[in-house]
């Protein structure tokens, strides 16, 4: 699994096992306690580490929760299912499955709500979750070009804008469907959504 760790600091070497335990404990605490009652002390106890260990790695609760949520989305993979449509369907189904997990749902909703009044938190969400997961769009487009399903991008700036737009469409639709409308993201819905998305790509 691809794993992101917070920026390194001077001192003793980082422990990957401690990081993993802390992030897992954070997600567990979010589900059981919610954002408002979650404390770094409780997370440290659950993870079996000293509270100072947390503070050496994360400046506060905001950063810790974002990284705990980001680790879940790092599980996303671009499947090779033989066509652009099938690849998109595979990613969307994975994304919806992650959002269906209580720890992902609780964590994402909490940090998004907090970010409305915290510019630094919004930037961390963008860097740790959004920008990192755009790799799937980049890889998917490159594979589609190799298959001849999409023409090569003539203008790099236009290609970058298209990647941003595709990501926003996929992420926005799935998050709204699962977390706002509370409707299922089943195979029928995913096929319909993918057809609409590909129609837009073809027109572009």
Please, what is the Cα angle at 174 between 39 and 182, to 5 degrees? Answer: 75
Tell me the per-residue pLDDT of 140-196, one tens digit each, with 9 for 90 and over: 999 999 999 988 888 888 889 889 999 999 999 999 999 999 999 999 999 999 999
Express as a percent the part of the chain with pLDDT over 70. 92
Helix ranges restricted to H, the chain = 16-33, 40-47, 51-57, 61-73, 84-99, 102-115, 119-125, 131-147, 156-175, 187-203
SS3 136: helix
* CATH code, 119: 1.10.357.10
Q: What's the number of domains the chain is made of?
A: 1
Grade residue 9 by pLDDT with cuts at 50, 70 and 90.
very low
Residue-number span of the structural domain to which 179 is assigned: 70-203
Q: Does a structural domain hold residue 63?
A: no
Q: Does a structural domain hold residue 42?
A: no
Q: Please give the pLDDT value at position 59.
A: 87
Are 106 and 26 contacting, i.e. CB atoms less than 8 angstroms apart? no
More confident residue, 168 or 1: 168
- In sequence order, what are the residues at sequence separation of 6 or more whose Cβ sits closer than 8 angstroms to the Cβ of residue 27? 68, 69, 72, 103, 104, 107
Tell me the per-residue pLDDT of 70-80, one tens digit each, with 9 for 90 and over: 999 999 999 99
Q: Does a structural domain hold residue 8?
A: no
Q: Does a structural domain hold residue 158?
A: yes
pTM: 0.84
């Amino acid at each position: 699994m691809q794993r992101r760790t917070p920026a390194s600091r001077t001192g003793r070497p980082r422990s990957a096992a401690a990081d993993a335990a802390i992030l897992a404990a954070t997600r567990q605490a979010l589900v059981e306690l919610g954002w408002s009652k979650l404390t770094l002390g409780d997370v440290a106890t659950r993870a079996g580490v000293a509270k100072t260990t947390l503070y050496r790695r994360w400046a506060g609760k905001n950063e810790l929760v974002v990284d705990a949520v980001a680790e879940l989305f790092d599980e996303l993979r671009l499947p090779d299912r033989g066509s652009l449509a099938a690849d998109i369907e595979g990613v969307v189904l994975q994304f919806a499955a992650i959002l269906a997990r209580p720890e992902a749902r609780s964590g994402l909703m909490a940090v998004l709500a907090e970010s409305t009044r915290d510019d630094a938190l919004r930037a961390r969400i963008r860097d740790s979750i959004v920008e990192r997961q755009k790799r799937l769009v980049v890889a998917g487009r490159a594979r589609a070009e190799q298959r001849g399903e999409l023409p090569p991008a003539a203008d790099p700036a236009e290609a970058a804008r298209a990647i941003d737009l595709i990501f926003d469409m996929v992420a926005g639709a799935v998050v709204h469907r699962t977390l706002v409308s509370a409707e299922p993201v089943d195979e029928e819905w995913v096929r319909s959504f993918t057809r609409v998305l590909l129609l837009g790509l073809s027109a572009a």
